[in-house]
């Protein structure tokens, strides 16, 4: 039997030190490397979505501009502000954990959770608006309105799609919950300015390269549908990460309230902060790509 075996159970362990690590330095290094490896694979995951967005936007800029212009930049800007402030409260949480100030930790975690909840509430408002206007790109998932309602008119304008008023209000009739899009006025603007790409001409027109080719409302709608597919996938996955972050904050709130963190041990707070900041940074890229790029076309129409 080893000379130390009888007294091993009395060996002092620093606060928060797990049994598989020799000391706090080794534990902190392992946890930090693990978190950064996780964030790198998250970057690769979102990077694939950003690449898909950029490829399709390069091919169909007018369709993506049309979809982007339909999003409400006010709500997107508000959510950006909310997340920036939440990053501040999260950073201050780490600071006060390092100082061992339990009361300020609890207050700032609650504020961070509040701002995260506001963000999700705004997304719920936006998603509801898309549902009510037939902009969810999956057939049958939009609000259904019977065509036989008194005073209802056809969902499709009698005018050619390039004469539909961009952003105008139209009677909503959608008996099957289809994806609705009848406005290709931005294509007309681009065509008059002679800056449509070859991919767009092939993608938006019937008999694209024939003299006098007509814009196809159906073809253009399918390209706008791609934008909304990417919009819902990217913002939906981001919202899922925010929900996970709120779950993490709930656990952090309980442990902070119990006084687990001090100047000697605050690694869980710091690692949770890294995750929260990552989620915020992803939105900083999503906001301009989805809500702002192409908005200048409104001023040329």
Query: Whole-prediction pTM value?
Result: 0.84
Q: Write out pLDDT tens, residues 4-32.
A: 444 455 444 565 555 554 555 566 676 67
Q: Is the dihedral of CA 54, 56, 58, 60 positive or negative?
A: negative
Instruction: Supply the range of the domain harboring residue 125.
Output: 28-299
Alpha helices, H only, the chain: 24-59, 61-70, 73-99, 102-132, 185-192, 198-204, 217-257, 267-287
Residue 19 placed within a domain: no
Q: Is the dihedral of CA 82, 84, 90, 92 positive or negative?
A: negative
Distance CA(277)–CA(112), nearest Å, equals: 11
Contact 48, 184 (CB under 8 A): no
Q: What is the pLDDT of residue 293?
A: 83
For the chain, which ranges sit under pLDDT 50? 1-7, 10-12, 21, 149, 151-157, 299-301
Rg of the chain over Cα atoms, rounded to whole angstroms, equals 26
Contact 162, 215 (CB under 8 A): yes
**CA separation, residue 189 to residues 41, 138, 177, 183, 226 (Å):** 41, 28, 30, 12, 21
Residue 3 placed within a domain: no
Residues in a beta bridge with 205: 215
Number of domains in the chain: 1
Residue 67 placed within a domain: yes
Residue 80 placed within a domain: yes
Q: What is the pLDDT of residue 192?
A: 58
Residue 4 placed within a domain: no
Q: What is the pLDDT of residue 171?
A: 74
Q: Write out pLDDT tens, residues 83-136.
A: 999 999 999 999 999 898 999 999 999 999 999 999 999 999 999 999 999 999
Contact 143, 132 (CB under 8 A): yes
Q: What is the CATH number of the domain that holds 35?
A: 1.20.120.80
């Amino acid at each position: 039997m080893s000379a130390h075996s009888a007294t091993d159970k009395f060996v002092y362990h620093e606060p928060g030190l797990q049994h598989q690590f020799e000391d706090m330095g080794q534990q902190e290094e392992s946890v930090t490397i693990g978190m950064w490896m996780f964030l790198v694979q998250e970057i690769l995951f979102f990077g694939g979505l950003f690449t898909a967005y950029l490829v399709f936007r390069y091919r169909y800029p007018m369709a993506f501009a049309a979809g982007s212009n339909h999003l409400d930049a006010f709500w997107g800007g508000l959510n950006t502000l909310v997340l920036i402030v939440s990053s501040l409260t999260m950073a201050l949480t780490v600071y006060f954990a390092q100082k061992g100030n339990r009361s300020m930790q609890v207050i700032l975690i609650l504020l961070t959770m509040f701002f995260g909840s506001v963000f999700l509430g705004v997304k719920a408002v936006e998603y509801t608006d898309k549902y009510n206007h037939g902009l969810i790109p999956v057939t049958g998932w939009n609000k259904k309105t019977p065509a036989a309602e008194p005073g209802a008119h056809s969902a499709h304008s009698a005018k050619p799609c390039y004469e539909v008023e961009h952003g105008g209000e139209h009677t909503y009739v959608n008996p099957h919950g289809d994806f609705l899009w009848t406005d290709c006025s931005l294509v007309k603007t681009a065509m008059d300015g002679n800056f449509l790409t070859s991919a767009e001409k092939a993608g938006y027109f019937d008999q694209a390269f024939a003299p006098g080719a007509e814009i196809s409302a159906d073809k253009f709608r399918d390209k706008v549908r791609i934008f909304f597919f990417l919009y819902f996938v990217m913002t939906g996955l981001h919202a899922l990460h925010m929900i996970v972050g709120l779950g993490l904050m709930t656990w952090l709130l309980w442990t902070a309230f119990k006084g687990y963190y001090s100047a000697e041990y605050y690694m869980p707070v710091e690692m949770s902060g890294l995750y929260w900041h990552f989620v915020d940074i992803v939105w900083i890229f999503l906001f301009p790509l989805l809500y702002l790029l192409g908005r200048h076309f409104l001023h040329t129409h």
